[in-house]
């Protein structure tokens, strides 16, 4: 966030204002790991190059590889570089599509990047020696094609898909080289994730509106001239579910293109009163510390993901990410954090 010109919370500071994320097209060179991007879709821009094992990126419902959804670059305190990466299952027959989030952080001096900012490259650099990435999804690729040896994969599923998509013909040709990408495209469209502070005046107006009777706030044109008794009778028929959903709609209407809301230590904006986690539903970090809210993914992101390719069952009201409040350090390892999926109420679909 500091790199984006936004306030960066340090350990122990009060939670920052809400920051909103919007998607924008960007040159591929700006979305490389060396540029420390926040991004949606495409292949992950890994921070630490000591990548998580492919088994950690498999869906708990169907056991197939998950694909990259988005990442947020969010330095904090002693973590000079810090990125959170979200993955999801895009296999349409999967009965229980799962999501996963991983945290990676590095000091300013580390074994992967220069301590000074690197200029944006004019073209993608060659792959780092020894870094083997899956040609299909960009995850760790420990498996290689037994014929050509230069094509790497996260597992047999993506190797089989790539073979049918064109590697059968290219295998063994001189054109082949380590790090080349598959012609198969099962990934989400790629965008830069641009962060902006939520307008403080809009927040103030919304906070005032939320403290007023919902009927008067939402139906001014209908209720004008009605007696106070009639207004109170109407308000009694508004359920808590309706009020929560109305608040959600009012708040996002202030910036309808937002795809992400960031406010570490703050509170999420729920879409429903159903399936809201209690403290006991949010597991502590492996280090023993509690987890706190960091950001949420909004349903507007679905509009940018070309959902026709992934089946109708990939859907959410909001995805809420909780991270270790102590921001524990595991060196170059990727730490699993916690993500909560909340759907829209049936009445509001």
- Summarised one tens digit per residue, pLDDT across range 283-333 is 999 999 999 999 999 999 999 997 655 555 688 999 999 999 999 999 999
What is the chain's mean pLDDT, rounded?
A: 84
**Among candidate residues 76, 75, 83, the one with its CA nearest the CA of residue 38:** 83
The percentage of residues in the chain with a pLDDT greater than 90, rounded to a whole number, is 61
Total-model pTM: 0.84
Using CA atoms, how far residue 307 sits from 64, 88, 316, in Å, is 19, 13, 12
Distance CA 178, CA 42 (A): 19
Distance CA 90, CA 309 (A): 9
Q: DSSP letter string over 237-259?
A: TS-HHHHHHHHHHHHHHTSTT--
Using CA atoms, how far residue 138 sits from 30, 41, 88, 238, in Å, is 17, 11, 14, 48
- Summarised one tens digit per residue, pLDDT across range 230-277 is 555 545 556 777 888 889 999 999 999 999 999 999 999 999 999 999
């Amino acid at each position: 966030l500091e790199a984006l010109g936004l306030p960066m919370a340090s350990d122990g500071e009060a939670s920052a204002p809400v920051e909103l994320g919007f998607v924008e097209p960007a040159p591929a060179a700006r979305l490389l790991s060396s540029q420390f991007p926040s991004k949606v879709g495409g292949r992950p821009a890994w921070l630490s190059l000591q990548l998580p094992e492919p088994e950690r990126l498999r869906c708990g419902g169907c056991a197939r590889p998950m694909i990259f959804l988005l990442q947020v670059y969010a330095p904090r305190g002693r973590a000079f570089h810090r990125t959170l990466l979200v993955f999801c299952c895009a296999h349409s027959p999967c009965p229980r599509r799962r999501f996963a989030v991983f945290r990676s952080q590095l000091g300013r001096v580390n074994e992967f990047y220069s301590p000074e900012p690197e200029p944006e490259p004019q073209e993608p650099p060659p792959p780092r020696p020894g870094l083997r990435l899956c040609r299909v999804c960009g995850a760790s690729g420990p498996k290689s094609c037994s014929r050509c040896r230069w094509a790497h994969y996260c597992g047999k599923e993506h190797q089989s898909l790539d073979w049918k998509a064109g590697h059968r013909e290219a295998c063994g040709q001189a054109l082949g080289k380590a790090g080349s990408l598959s012609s198969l495209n099962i990934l989400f469209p790629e965008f830069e994730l641009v962060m902006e502070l939520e307008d403080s005046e809009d927040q103030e107006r919304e906070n005032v509106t939320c403290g007023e009777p919902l009927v008067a706030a939402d139906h001014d044109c209908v209720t004008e001239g009605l007696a106070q008794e009639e207004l109170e009778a109407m308000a009694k028929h508004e359920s808590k579910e309706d009020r929560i959903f109305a608040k959600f709609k009012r708040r996002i209407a202030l910036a309808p293109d937002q795809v992400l809301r960031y406010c570490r230590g703050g509170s999420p904006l729920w879409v429903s009163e159903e399936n809201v986690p209690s403290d006991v539903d949010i597991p502590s970090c492996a280090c023993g510390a509690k987890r706190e809210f960091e950001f949420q993914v909004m349903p507007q992101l679905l509009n940018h993901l070309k959902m026709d390719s992934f089946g109708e069952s990939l859907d959410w009201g909001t995805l809420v990410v909780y991270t270790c409040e102590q921001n524990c350090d595991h060196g170059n390892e990727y730490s699993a954090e916690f993500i909560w999926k909340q759907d829209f109420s049936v009445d509001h679909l």
